[in-house]
Structure 1
Amino acid sequence: MKVLLLNVPDAHVGKTTDDWDLEATDIGVFPPMGILYLAGVLRAGGRHDIGLVDCILDRLTPDAAARRAADFDPDVVGLTVYTPTLYDALILTRRLRELAPRAKIVWGGPHTSLFPDESMAQPEVDFLVTGEAEESFPAFLDALEEGRSFEDIPGIYWREAGAVRRSGDPGYVKDIESIPFPAYDLLPYKRYFSAIGTGLPVGTICSSRGCPFHCTFCCKPYSTYRSRSVDNILDEMAVYYERGIREFFFFDDLFNASAKRVAAISQGILDRGFRVVWAFRGRVDAVTEDMLRLAKKSGCRQALFGVEDATDEGLKRINKKITVEQVRRAIKLCRKVGILTSTNWIIGFPHHKTQEDILHLIDTAVSIDSDFAQFNIMIAYYGTAIFQEGVDKGLFPADIWRAHAANPVPNFVEPIWEEHLSRAELSKLLKLCYRRFYFRPLPILRKFLRVRRASELALFAKGALTLLGIKGYHRKRHKEGESQFAEPAKPQEQ
């Protein structure tokens, strides 16, 4: 069969602020690992013709994406669906139904695992593949082609005799090392980049899956931590290295689960002679100076840490299980060995009761002085402890996410904690976070002096323009009907 996999457009994502949010692409454009892994699995199986379209990379509207899909003349179209981009996924699906009427349309991705019933209530959706799909999706395609039952394949939803059927719990891959490498070559992989990287084409690697921690604001599908062997990770790097990729981003939820593992990967990079730069996401309480020195020697350029809050009491409230002193120590160690740092912060937690609480967070972020920082307003995601707490307090309806899943709207206003500070107040404070952190003489000079190539200078300028507010007001334009995208054609009546 001809199978087309789509990374959904992001023209009408959910919004948290009144008039200002950073675009996803303001921090870079990264390879869509979900469909790349599936393409790798399908190619290894050798049974199907595969096509990929990354609508975000190519800046496609739902209508343009559907027309490109129709040109492929697919038997099956698979969409990775996230709740923030649900509206675009649905508009794209409706256009696909019009332009590629014979194709079976399959939804996968995190949204379908959270809201399977609402997803199947959309008449244009033929099937769901929920959970991790690297094993279940190929089995589903084989069963579909051969006319067999889906009963024994985990996580499948379908219609039969006018009713929705399901085949058990969402898919789960115990041995993630058994998954073939992502099919990077099916997309223009040299166009992906990190806005806080070097400007070189970036390759994304997931060396592990899952996170054993239970932060109250985090919505995650799996707590079980599963890792790949060092040799398997290095073999994947070698494939991309041979294709000219020299910058890598380890996109794991928890790359530095152990210092020993990070050291082994670093030594392996050196032993194989890879001349690369790389970055990772990790925890501040799991770094050592020896680990960082070896990582730096192997090309580690940057470490990204989720800090979230600025007091030990606040960190306890969100069950982060770190301290502010551990944050300071990790940043100092990275600077000592020459690794850049980026910290993530969240404002608008339930215990942020006054503007002074947010100002203290800003002051702490400035004093810790990571090289980069990202600030966000806390979103009460469905299924999190904070969401349930907000429902119990009557801050938002229990069905707010389900209602959106059933009837998505463009630029859905996501629930945030407005018990103490309003959305408008938090929006202003979010802008203040960025301006207070970045518009200081020493950090600006430090960043400028690190520029080594024209691509880095371009990224530096783009980031400055974004923070000045020259860019970044796309949410308001969408609200006023001035989308940066051409408006998709309206779906016909079904």
Structure 2
Amino acid sequence: MFDFWWVMAIRHKVVLYNPAAVFHTMPLGLLAIGSNLDPARFDVRIVDARIEADPLGAVLRAIDGALCFGVTMLTGRPLGDALAMLRAVKRARPDLTTVAGGWHPSLFPVETLDEPSIDITVAGQGERTFAEIMDRLAEGGDVEGIAGVAYRDGDRVVRAKARHLESLDAFAPPNFDLIPVERYFELKGRRQLDYIGSIGCNFRCAFCADPFVYGRDWKATSASRMGVEIEALWRRYRFTDLNFQDETYFTHRHRVADICEEFLRRGLDFTWAGTMRADQGVRLPDEIWRLCVRSGLRRVLVGVETGSHEMMKRIKKDTTIDAILETAAKCRQHDVAVIFSFIVGFPEETEAQVEATLGLIKTLRAMSPKFETPLFYYKPYPGSALAAAVADQTPRTLDDWARFDYVAGPAGTWVPPHLYRRIERFKFYNKYAAGPVATGQGAGRLLRRVARWRIDHDVYAAPVEKFLVQHLRPEPSLS
């Protein structure tokens, strides 16, 4: 009996790694899986390369005596950092079980196992899958029969059945004690807490991987539970801004209203931001808009993608230009800031369709100084429907995918060079026409005036200002 209780009292160390990136978003995915391990049995350590001065040293120290090393893998440069860390871990601890989850393994659970340093992959929602893996490892067993995993069995790879999305109410709330919250506040430059209240997306955008990972399903935390959780977090950390990282926060308008009521009823004093589709903004009644603002709504992010009616249909966005303009008008009416994100460089996109997108950007920027319109190049995210059109021009190996810069990289090879130059010049001047330049400095004010004139008159020849800025103040990659 004594031996039995001694075994039960062992706490197994589990090390989770968040790869490097220039953003300082809190590692919510790792928090979710770490928070759902029994703290009486598992000692969870999260190492975040985004905030660590020496991530490699921190990981190598942490894995001493660990049961498992888990890593989240996002296609692009974070994937490269994840691979480098996995290889270093396997060199130091060849016996240590490694588990990879996140977007890339969710899309390629079997192919990801081509990497020798990865033992198990997890596809889709990971809370329950990872907990079951840890239970098996702690008992000295294997992962056979666990839904959502893929693993090697001798010379073959076994892929288990998929795991369906569960309501977030089925899981423990995120335990922010697992990360140094104040350090994130410091690096963000504001007391901003990141939070996820729902997972998945019901829509079918052809450029997006969501439909393949979550099967167009959507699950959420109930408004009442969110009220309890967020009040506790606010009273502990006194954050001043709450940043919802949901794919589509405004999916159910009545739930949004209930959450706002929870904030107001509990006397919570912070601003908040969330994601919204244009058609959701149109359908949102004015009384809920006003309720959102009263509860602290400061900004929404709307994925517009294109200003072309034809491209809107082709990418299966299932919204309209009119809906975008109507939502913009509602945001202006209620004094809500907006990030309208755009994508150009789709396969077979015509110059006229690109010009329609640039035109819509100008229209939106002219509507309010609180509207931002970042422009990105289409990148064939693995697994998305549109990626099939350029499948022969996409990476083949994990290392190749790691070199793919999804945020700040150039256009695909299918975009003609002259069109690429046109877009690049527009992107530069559009950013500085109303962007965050140093208005107190003469050079900043002059650049803004010149950029506005060029944008207003569509004059982009001889971009001397672009050359000077990019050579005097180069920007880091954003992946």
Whether TM exceeds 0.5 here: the answer is: yes
In 2, distance between residues paired with 1:5 and 1:188? 14
Query: How far off is 1:425 after superposition?
Result: 4.4
**Cα distance 1:290–1:439, how it changes in 2: closer, same or farther (>3 A)?**
same
Query: How far off is 1:377 after superposition?
Result: 0.2
* 1:264 match: 258
Contact 2:308 2:353 in 1 (8 A): no
Query: How far off is 1:188 after superposition?
Result: 1.5
Contact 1:203 1:248 in 2 (8 A): yes
SS across alignment from 2:66: coil
* 1:20 match: none
**Cα distance 1:163–1:204, how it changes in 2: closer, same or farther (>3 A)?**
same
* 2:205 match: 215
For the pair 1:404 / 2:397, whether they are aligned, the reply is yes
* 1:97 match: 90
For the pair 1:78 / 2:74, whether they are aligned, the reply is no
For the pair 1:201 / 2:191, whether they are aligned, the reply is yes
- CA displacement, residues 9-65 of structure 1 (integer Å, 9 cap, x when unaligned): 24xxxxxxxxxxxxxx3xx421111101011111x453111111111233656x445
- CA displacement, residues 335-388 of structure 1 (integer Å, 9 cap, x when unaligned): 21121111101111235322x543442232121125222210011122222111
* 2:292 match: 295
* 1:69 match: 62
SS across alignment from 1:135: helix
**Cα distance 1:363–1:161, how it changes in 2: closer, same or farther (>3 A)?**
closer
* 2:165 match: 173
In 2, distance between residues paired with 1:411 and 1:277? 37
* 1:3 match: 14
In 2, distance between residues paired with 1:320 and 1:447? 37
Query: How far off is 1:259 after superposition?
Result: 2.4
Q: Which runs of 5+ in 1 are unaligned?
A: 11-24, 449-464, 479-494
Contact 2:122 2:130 in 1 (8 A): yes
In 2, distance between residues paired with 1:142 and 1:209? 24
**Cα distance 1:362–1:57, how it changes in 2: closer, same or farther (>3 A)?**
farther
SS across alignment from 1:83: coil
**Cα distance 1:9–1:65, how it changes in 2: closer, same or farther (>3 A)?**
farther
In 2, distance between residues paired with 1:194 and 1:315? 40
* 2:375 match: 375
- Among residues 34, 41, 63, which one is paired with 1:39 in the alignment? 34
Amino acid at match of 1:203: L
* 2:132 match: 139
Contact 1:116 1:128 in 2 (8 A): yes
Contact 2:145 2:160 in 1 (8 A): yes
* 1:107 match: 100
Query: How far off is 1:279 after superposition?
Result: 0.3
- Among residues 312, 315, 319, which one is paired with 1:315 in the alignment? 312
What TM-score, normalized by structure 1, do the two folds share?
Answer: 0.78
Q: Relative to structure 2, which stretch is displaced further, 227-236 or 157-166?
A: 157-166
Percent of matched pairs sharing the same residue: 26
For the pair 1:233 / 2:230, whether they are aligned, the reply is no
Contact 2:75 2:401 in 1 (8 A): no
What TM-score, normalized by structure 2, do the two folds share?
Answer: 0.81
Amino acid at match of 1:39: G
In 1, distance between residues paired with 2:73 and 2:142? 25
Q: Please report the RMSD computed on the Cα atoms of aligned residues, expressed in angstroms.
A: 3.0
**Cα distance 1:350–1:166, how it changes in 2: closer, same or farther (>3 A)?**
closer
Q: Which runs of 5+ in 2 are unaligned?
A: 1-11, 441-465
Alignment of 1:327-406 (within 5 A): 327-354=324-351, 357-369=353-365, 371-391=371-391, 396-397=392-393, 400-401=394-395, 403-405=396-398
**Cα distance 1:437–1:351, how it changes in 2: closer, same or farther (>3 A)?**
farther
Aligned length: 426
For the pair 1:148 / 2:159, whether they are aligned, the reply is no
Q: Relative to structure 2, which stretch is displaced further, 337-346 or 370-379?
A: 370-379
Query: How far off is 1:280 after superposition?
Result: 0.4
- CA displacement, residues 414-439 of structure 1 (integer Å, 9 cap, x when unaligned): 795544524x7426613522422442
* 1:456 match: none
Amino acid at match of 2:371: D
SS across alignment from 2:158: strand
Contact 1:81 1:110 in 2 (8 A): yes
* 1:186 match: 178
Contact 1:381 1:387 in 2 (8 A): yes
* 2:453 match: none
Contact 1:254 1:281 in 2 (8 A): yes
In 2, distance between residues paired with 1:475 and 1:260? 39
- Among residues 25, 49, 52, which one is paired with 1:58 in the alignment? 52
**Cα distance 1:76–1:149, how it changes in 2: closer, same or farther (>3 A)?**
closer
Query: How far off is 1:155 after superposition?
Result: 2.1
Amino acid at match of 1:111: H
In 1, distance between residues paired with 2:298 and 2:177? 25
Amino acid at match of 1:56: R
In 2, distance between residues paired with 1:208 and 1:33? 12
Query: How far off is 1:282 after superposition?
Result: 0.8
Tell which structure's C-alpha radius of gyration is larger: 2
For the pair 1:274 / 2:272, whether they are aligned, the reply is no
In 2, distance between residues paired with 1:377 and 1:384? 15
- CA displacement, residues 257-304 of structure 1 (integer Å, 9 cap, x when unaligned): 132222111111100100011000111111232221111111111111
**Cα distance 1:255–1:241, how it changes in 2: closer, same or farther (>3 A)?**
same
* 2:458 match: none
Amino acid at match of 2:382: Y
**Cα distance 1:93–1:68, how it changes in 2: closer, same or farther (>3 A)?**
same
Q: Which has the higher contact order (CA 8 A, sep 6+)?
A: 1
